[in-house]
């Protein structure tokens, strides 16, 4: 187990914010997770559980303990794939295809770790982690006991779960089990997947071709955090009533939308932000990516508070123009 004092979190957040924590604990197996839970109980300090840091914005040093999982490994049994919470998510997607198991392809290149997939209910191009998760194994911090949580227990919603609410800071993730399919059924009707495939001259992609196409799309739209600090999509796409959608559709011909149910439509937050003129603009050292308005970027040396100020100005402008509230997907500390 790693136990480090006065630890820099620069390598644990993709925004590239050089904040520190008082103590850093990293567990690599279940026994070490139990020990970390015991330390958290006995120390009584504030603590923060982090994954790959791709959904995190630090606005200050963290005066407490930061916990990270380094549990690796994947095991396949039939159509179920059980992965360590510290595994890199995109590695797992590739491993699933190596095992001839399907369903994760549209989630290719989403940054972060396996544990975060279960907390955040990551999603892209018509697929969400909740569609695949069977169960989560975790250590309960209060008792140090290992427990198994079902998909239903987690109460998943759009980029949401109980881990973000009444279960926040209650568990240390060990493993996540996903149920995949042996029959490949590509989902191509979300976003610009078909258009990108047509550009490649592909009408019926293999699973690997679909994965590579998703990766290409994401790389075209999203900046590399190794070059430009960012956390991917900063805002959640708002879900509005059909009445509100029809009101806006009458004003904005061709406005993109995705039907949720008979009463609700989802409108891309990136489109709303772009309509407000923010794509490619900056506020000091924080900016909006020139190719995807949903992405806020660190232009060099920005503080977390500067990025928050940009976030709030964008939210204000969207609210003023569309009477819609957009909310950060990123965890702001």
Q: Provide the annotated active-site residues.
A: 159, 233, 329
Q: In whole angstroms, what is the distance from residue 278 CA to residue 295 CA? A: 11
The single residue listed with the structure tokens 């963290």 is 62
217, 126 in Cβ contact below 8 A?
A: no
Neighbouring residues of 236: CB distance < 8 A, sequence distance ≥ 6 = 158, 159, 269, 326, 327, 328, 329
* Cβ pair 194, 202 in contact under 8 A: no
3-class secondary structure, 111: coil
Give the three-state DSSP class for 287: strand
For residue 81, which of 179, 211, 183, 182 has the smallest C-alpha distance? 179
Assess contact for 242 and 218: CB atoms under 8 A.
no
Q: Which ranges of the chain would DSSP assign to H, the alpha helix?
A: 30-43, 89-98, 114-120, 151-154, 193-199, 207-221, 242-251, 269-275, 304-322
């Amino acid at each position: 187990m790693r136990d480090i004092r006065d630890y820099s979190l620069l390598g644990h957040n993709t925004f590239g914010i050089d904040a520190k924590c008082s103590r850093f604990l990293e567990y690599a197996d279940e026994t070490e997770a139990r020990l970390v839970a015991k330390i958290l109980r006995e120390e009584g300090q504030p603590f923060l559980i982090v994954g790959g840091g791709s959904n995190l914005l630090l606005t200050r040093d963290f005066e407490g303990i930061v916990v990270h999982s380094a549990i690796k490994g994947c095991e396949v049994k039939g159509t179920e794939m059980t992965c360590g919470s510290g595994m890199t998510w995109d590695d797992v997607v590739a491993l699933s295809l190596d095992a001839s198991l399907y369903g994760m392809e549209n989630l290719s290149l989403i940054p972060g770790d396996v544990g975060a997939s279960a907390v955040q209910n990551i999603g892209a191009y018509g697929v969400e982690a909740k569609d695949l998760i069977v169960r989560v194994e975790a250590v309960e911090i209060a008792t140090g006991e290992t427990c198994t949580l079902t998909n239903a227990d987690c109460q998943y919603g759009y980029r949401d779960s109980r881990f973000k609410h009444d279960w926040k800071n209650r568990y240390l993730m060990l493993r996540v089990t996903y149920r995949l399919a042996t029959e490949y059924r590509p989902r191509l009707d979300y976003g610009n997947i078909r258009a990108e495939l047509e550009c490649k001259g592909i009408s019926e992609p293999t699973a690997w071709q679909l994965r590579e196409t998703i990766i290409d799309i994401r790389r075209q739209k999203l900046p590399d955090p190794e070059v430009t600090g960012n956390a991917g999509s900063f805002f959640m796409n708002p879900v509005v009533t059909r009445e509100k959608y029809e009101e806006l559709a009458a004003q904005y011909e061709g406005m993109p939308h995705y039907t949720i149910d008979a009463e609700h439509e989802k409108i891309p937050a990136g489109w709303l932000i772009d309509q407000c003129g923010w794509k490619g603009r900056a506020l000091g050292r924080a900016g909006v990516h020139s190719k995807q308005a949903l992405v806020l970027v660190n232009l060099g040396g920005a503080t977390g508070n500067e990025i928050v100020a940009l976030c709030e100005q964008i939210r204000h402008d969207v609210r003023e123009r569309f009477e819609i509230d957009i909310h950060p997907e990123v965890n702001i500390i």
